[in-house]
Structure 1
Amino acid sequence: MVHVMALVADEVGVLRRICGVYESRRYRVRSLTAGPSGHPGVLRVNLAVDESPERARRLAAQLARLIDVISVDVAEAGRAVGRELALVKVVLPAPDRRPEVLQVAQVFRARVVDVAPRSLVMELTGDTGKVDAFIRLVEEFGAVEVARTGVAAVRRGERVLAGAALDRGREESEDGAPPAVAAGAGTPGIGTGSAMEAWAAGAGAGAVAGGHGAPAGVVRATG
């Protein structure tokens, strides 16, 4: 799995436009999550894709062409920390099966958040493999209903997606992969500043590190 992480303007229709990019080009997206980034007016979007790193970087470059996209980064699973939350309800055929379910929950460090005479709702946080394994086990005890948030991810190490200028300006990323993509750069290379700084200055997502509406190029996530 490869993680594609983006900062985007919090505008109506931005998720529809992102979905349009990967659907039209048939990228295999396992999950999409979106939420506050810590910057006013900016969302963080995480795509977990079942693609090669090359295909994932191509997706990032295509996303960077969207006017709403401020900055994009790509990290393979080993270079990112990814977690998701799941709420799992188990409806038991008989109340005496509850201790068995609770034993499984204890092994996986799942937390019971609701109890009824013949059902349990448990909360579990972990990587996708852990959540999948837990669901497979509790399915043996009865009917299961699952609600999953999808994967949220951040890159390991000091490098950040836009934001503060940590080691800004190096031409190669620490892992040798192409640097993060920021919308609006005129040519491939290194931007003159962080995408978020340009956004804060009022340039807008499409004008980061270049003229408004210029072709997307490549600039790194800071750090």
Structure 2
Amino acid sequence: MTGADGSTAYVERTSDGEKFQGWHILSALLENKPGVLFRVTNLFRARNFNIESITVGSTEKTDLSRMTITFNGDERTLDQLVKQLRKLIDVVEVKVLDTNRTVYRELALIKMKAAEPTARMEIVNFASIFRANILDIGNDTITVELTGTPDKIDAFKRLVEHFGILQLARTGVSALSRGGEL
């Protein structure tokens, strides 16, 4: 798919070339102004599309922010969203990132019950295997910081659920294309 500005967006397809219904990552470069986040999310709301995750932060240019949006949908929905986003006045650039050619990560903080010494040791062992950091140990709790793909975070969560997750906070996906691509 080629945008109005001549940029190329990558759309995943199945092995037989059919439309891919699944998880997509959009990266948008936006003017760093009040109300831009509202206008972008309102576009999704108005068209009844659900955002799986959204992150926004400053970039190497102080007047621009990068927004990373993940959602589930088919190629038609993806095309429609990209076209609508490009029409917004504060949007400088929109790209669909190919997950095979993208570095993407999410951060999760997970507070679990850990009153028993054996539970604490198991959680510490799981954290070590997943290269997570122990941030806090209370009398009855342990808090872990984990960075990785959403699948990695989901796998860790499933592994420790039986201890009792008291609180969970996830940042949403941040992503950049690999190598020399901008």
TM-score range, shorter chain: 0.7 to 0.9
1:102 is matched with which residue?
Answer: 124
Unaligned regions of 5+ residues in structure 2, if any?
1-22
Does the CA-based 8 Å contact 1:113-1:123 persist in structure 2? yes
Structure 1 residue 93, shift from structure 2 partner: 4.2
Letter in 2 for 1:87: L
Does the CA-based 8 Å contact 1:6-1:69 persist in structure 2? yes
Q: How many residues align?
A: 160
Secondary structure of 1:26's partner? coil
Match of 1:91 among 86, 101, 113: 113
1:150 partnered with 2:172: yes
Letter in 1 for 2:127: A
Does the CA-based 8 Å contact 1:31-1:48 persist in structure 2? yes
2:33 is matched with which residue?
Answer: 11
Whole-angstrom distance in 2 between the partners of 1:112 and 1:149: 17
Secondary structure of 2:123's partner? helix
Whole-angstrom distance in 1 between the partners of 2:25 and 2:151: 15
TM-score of the superposition, structure 1-length normalised? 0.68
1:28 partnered with 2:50: yes
Match of 1:65 among 87, 91, 114: 87
Q: Which moved more, 1:113-122 or 1:50-59?
A: 50-59
Whole-angstrom distance in 1 between the partners of 2:166 and 2:109: 10
**Superposition RMSD on alpha carbons, in Å?**
1.4
Whole-angstrom distance in 1 between the partners of 2:43 and 2:165: 36
Choose between structure 1 and 2: higher strand proportion.
2
Whole-angstrom distance in 1 between the partners of 2:102 and 2:177: 4
Larger Rg: 1
Whole-angstrom distance in 2 between the partners of 1:124 and 1:143: 14
Percent identity, aligned pairs only?
36
Equivalences for residues 103-142 of structure 1 within 5 A: 103-142=125-164
Whole-angstrom distance in 1 between the partners of 2:101 and 2:77: 17
Whole-angstrom distance in 1 between the partners of 2:98 and 2:75: 7
State the 4+ residue runs in structure 1 displaced beyond 4 angstroms. none
2:4 is matched with which residue?
Answer: none
Does the CA-based 8 Å contact 2:110-2:165 persist in structure 1? no
Secondary structure of 1:7's partner? strand
TM-score of the superposition, structure 2-length normalised? 0.82
Whole-angstrom distance in 2 between the partners of 1:60 and 1:126: 26
Whole-angstrom distance in 2 between the partners of 1:79 and 1:96: 41
Secondary structure of 1:64's partner? helix
Whole-angstrom distance in 1 between the partners of 2:146 and 2:86: 33
Structure 1 residue 157, shift from structure 2 partner: 3.5
1:68/1:25 Cα in 2 relative to 1: closer, same or farther (>3 Å)?
same
Unaligned regions of 5+ residues in structure 1, if any?
161-223
Whole-angstrom distance in 2 between the partners of 1:27 and 1:101: 37
Match of 1:76 among 98, 101, 106: 98
Q: Which moved more, 1:20-29 or 1:119-128?
A: 20-29
2:77 is matched with which residue?
Answer: 55
